[in-house]
Amino acid sequence: MSFRRTRAMARKEVLHIWRDPRSLAMALAVPVLLLFLFGTALSLDVDRIPTLIYDADGGSGARELIHRFQGSRFFQIRGMASGPAEIERRIDRNEIFLGVSIPHNYSRQIAAGREAPVQILIDGSDSNTASIAMGYVEALIRAYAFELRKGAQNRKGGGQALVIPAEARLRVWYNSQLQSKNYIVPGLIAVILMIIASLLTSLTVAREWEMGTMEQLLSTPVRPAEMVLGKMLAFFGVGVIDTAIAIAVGILFFDVPMRGNGLFLVASSCIFLFGALFWGIFLSAAARSQLLAFQIGMITSFLPSFLLSGFVYAVESMPPVIRTITHLVPARHFITVLKGIFLKGVGLEVLWVETLFLAVFAALVFVLATRKMKQKVA
């Protein structure tokens, strides 16, 4: 392999990129656009649940329970219902997500120390949000019931104090405020880089065939490996700029904590970029049509990175066969590396398996792209 020929091929691609300012601007603007779009619009936090309350009792006990719902940040009271039928009607219209129905004798039952059931109606069409909302309601009512029992015992006077059998003291590591943006943004960086990198290079070789310049390249002494490496190096600069922009936006705008080693972040990002860029070149070499290469690049980069990487959907909840397939998705390993660096502050001593996979993937795709280029040349 000749460094001189590789550098000449890289220079040719750099000139082509520079003479196409619209594509270059798009390549640099898309990561920022996607980060702002997904980072601000996509949220896994379940709070401010639209809630409607029907109070058939009107007593002090009912008012206290309503006050608990109003004081919680997880519920957004949309008013008082005139009856159970209004709750059902507004749930059907997607105006509210949760309804609370307090029976007419609720305060009397509470004052007498007896059980006072409260009906909770939840829209179960979104099962995940419904289960989380149910947990919020149960925790609120459980805490309120404990205070009622404690107050009733104090009013009776004497007796053993009411104590909780077990008290849980929670300590949340790495994301103490439980903000979903700290979970989403690092994963979003990996998804964006995979999409951009593979799509940037998926058109390079196919464009040479469609424009008729591949025959001119074949008449030169440039070898397939030099051609693949030269094209990758030209787009690697664009990928590095995209990476820097994405990381800067995540840290400065979204205020995602950066607890790990910056040099390890740079090194792992470069390894991931190598693999993604080589993958795009491999697809471009396999398909002589730019349209076909673009479509295959989108299918093999966006869908696996978004659905099978653990970015949004937990890998642990997937079927065993799908979980096995996710191990072949580079974005899954890079997301693990990014979250380890950003949130946990760990380094290569913990993330060496994921880093090794990314390096092996980059080397393997480089070999495949080179062999595919040889077949096309032949």
- Provide the pLDDT confidence category of residue 163 given band limits of 50, 70 and 90: low
Confidence grade of residue 358 (pLDDT, cut at 50, 70, 90): very high
| 3-state secondary structure (DSSP) of residue 99 | strand
Closest CA to 300 of 315, 280, 317, 285: 280
- Look at residue 166 in the predicted model and tell me its pLDDT: 52
The pTM is what? 0.78
CB 186 within 8 A of CB 255: no
Distance CA 212, CA 220 (A): 14
SS3 sequence of the chain: CCHHHHHHHHHHHHHHHHCCHHHHHHHHHHHHHHHHHHHHHCCCCCCCEEEEEEECCCCHHHHHHHHHHHHCCCEEEEEECCCHHHHHHHHHCCCCCEEEEECCCHHHHHHCCCCCCCEEEECCCCHHHHHHHHHHHHHHHHHHHHHHHHHHHHHHCCCCCCCCCCCCCCCCCCCCCCCHHHHHHHHHHHHHHHHHHHHHHCCHHHHHHHHCCHHHHHCCCCCHHHHHHHHHHHHHHHHHHHHHHHHHHHHHHCCCCCCCCHHHHHHHHHHHHHHHHHHHHHHHHHCCCHHHHHHHHHHHHHHHHHHCCCCCCCHHHCCHHHHHHHCCCHHHHHHHHHHHHHHHCCCHHHHHHHHHHHHHHHHHHHHHHHHHHHHHHC
pLDDT band for 360, please (50, 70, 90 cuts): very high
Which two structure tokens, joined as six digits, stand for 100?
Answer: 């609370």
Residue 288 has pLDDT above 90, yes or no: no
Can you give the residue ranges of every domain in the chain?
3-43+179-377, 49-156
Write a three-state SS string for 238-260.
Answer: HHHHHHHHHHHHHHHHCCCCCCC
Q: In one letter, which amino acid is 354? A: E
More confident position, 314 or 56: 56
Query: Is 49-156 a CATH 3.40.50.720 domain?
Result: no
> Rounded CA gap, 148 and 164, in Å?
14
Q: List Cα–Cα distances, 95 to 76, 90, 119, 124, 223, in angstroms.
A: 12, 5, 19, 14, 64
Q: Which of 27-36, 45-54, 232-241 has the lowest mean pLDDT?
A: 27-36
Residue with tokens 């925790």: 139
DSSP letter assigned to residue 327: T
27: pLDDT strictly greater than 90: no
Most confident of the following: 43-47, 124-128, 235-239, 357-361: 357-361
The first and second tokens of residue 123, run together, are 């829209």
Reported residue count of the chain is: 378
Q: Is the pLDDT of residue 90 over 80?
A: yes
Outline where 102-179 has alpha helix (H): 106-111, 127-156
Q: What is the pLDDT of residue 158?
A: 52
Q: Give mean pLDDT, residues 317-330.
A: 90
Query: Which pLDDT tens digit goes with each residue over 211-240?
Result: 777 767 767 777 878 888 888 888 898 889
Any residues with CB less than 8 A from the CB of 345 and at least 6 apart, and which?
Answer: 259, 260
- Asked if pLDDT for residue 6 goes beyond 60, the answer is yes
pLDDT the model gives residue 182: 85
Q: Provide the 10 A C-beta neighbour count for residue 22.
A: 7
pLDDT at 183: 82
Q: For position 108, what pLDDT does the model report?
A: 84
User: What band does 375 get if pLDDT is binned at 50, 70 and 90?
Assistant: low
Residue 192: per-residue pLDDT: 85
Token digits for 169? Answer: 């003291």
